Amino acid sequence: MRSFSYERATSPGAAAAAAAGTANAKFIAGGTNLLDLMKLEIETPAHLIDVNGLALDRIDETADGGLRIGALVRNTDLAADRRVRRDYAVLSRALLAGASGQLRNKATTAGNLLQRTRCPYFYDANLPCNKRKPGSGCAAIGGFSRQHAVIGASEACIATHPSDMAVAMRVLDVVVETVRPDGATRSIPIADLHRLPGDSPEIETTLQPGELITAVALPKPVGGTQAYRKVRDRASYAFALVSVAAIVQGDGTGRVALGGVAHKPWRVEAAESELPRGAKAVTARLLADAKPTKDNAYKLPLAERTLAAVLREARG
């Protein structure tokens, strides 16, 4: 690990200003992703800004009946909150499907949203990776790509987003609240937070330099039967090959988002009109533009079967 300087932020605005005003600065909270990347010298920040002391670790009710989740709320606390378990069960289940208990005790809400891909080629500094070193190429393309994206990828990157929580938040239509270096705040629909790789896979979100996530706002509860199902190689401490977050209403309508298939949580609202017709019709539209490799083509029928299982469970 390379040497770096360190400071403790005193306010969200001060943290954002410090990040924008210092070359190669990074925020750190739980550190469950950043520290691993620093040890491998994939991330080499010159300056760390510790945001753990900021008052961003509360879950508060909002005026419209929803919840505001502070950026520093730990994954364990969020999953266990009685209001989340009661009204946003898909979120609680997704969190409990992620990582291990020890990691959930440290990982934060904002950090979970911003974690970087677990593509093995990204983690191997001896291999080319456009996300790690722009313009160097993508070793996953033409390599072993069993875990990689089947849709929304590009000729520069076929990595997937690793978060379970983000998939559930996408199906819930949360809004991400931030503060910029100039002190201005803004609200970003989660659909607009993560980017597809295109020609610049190293730019993973629409956050501006120095912009700090302060909270995530859940809308008022939408009811219905909520489920999260994750298919992975082993029962714990493994990332999704395919995951399904779904909310199914009594009349058969609802919402669906997929994980493990794209560079961001994958949701196509137009496909949800097919829910009364079943999983095959939904996934046909959800994955209509899929371009799988020979190694990961299995994800297409796996997504359909996983959604079918979720719908059977939801409909009793």
Residue 315's pLDDT is what?
85
Q: Which parts of the chain sit beneath pLDDT 50?
A: none
In angstroms, the CA 227 to CA 310 distance is 7
Residue 284's pLDDT is what?
98
Backbone torsion region of residue 212, taken as left when φ is above 0, otherwise alpha when ψ lies between -120 and 50, otherwise beta: beta
Query: In 3-state terms, what secondary structure has residue 210?
Result: coil
CA within 13 Å, CB half, 252: 9
Cβ burial, residue 90 (10 Å; 0-12/13-18/19+)? buried
Whole-number average pLDDT of the chain: 97
Q: Where are the alpha helices (DSSP H) in 40-142?
A: 75-80, 82-87, 89-96, 101-106, 109-114, 120-123
Residue 119's pLDDT is what?
97
Residue type, 182: D
Rounded to 5 degrees, φ, ψ at 99 are 50, -140
In Å, what is the CA distance from 167 to each residue of 1, 37, 75, 98?
A: 32, 23, 14, 11
Spatial neighbors of 44 by CB under 8 A, at least 6 apart, are 2, 24, 38
CB 104 within 8 A of CB 98: yes
Spatial neighbors of 126 by CB under 8 A, at least 6 apart, are none
Residue 316's pLDDT is what?
79
Residue 156's pLDDT is what?
98
Three-state SS letters, 89-107? HHHHHHHHCCCCHHHHHHC
pLDDT tens string 281-308:
999 999 999 999 999 999 999 999 999 9
Spatial neighbors of 101 by CB under 8 A, at least 6 apart, are 76
Residue 71's pLDDT is what?
98
pLDDT tens string 200-240:
999 999 999 999 999 999 999 999 999 999 999 998 889 99
Residue 99's pLDDT is what?
85
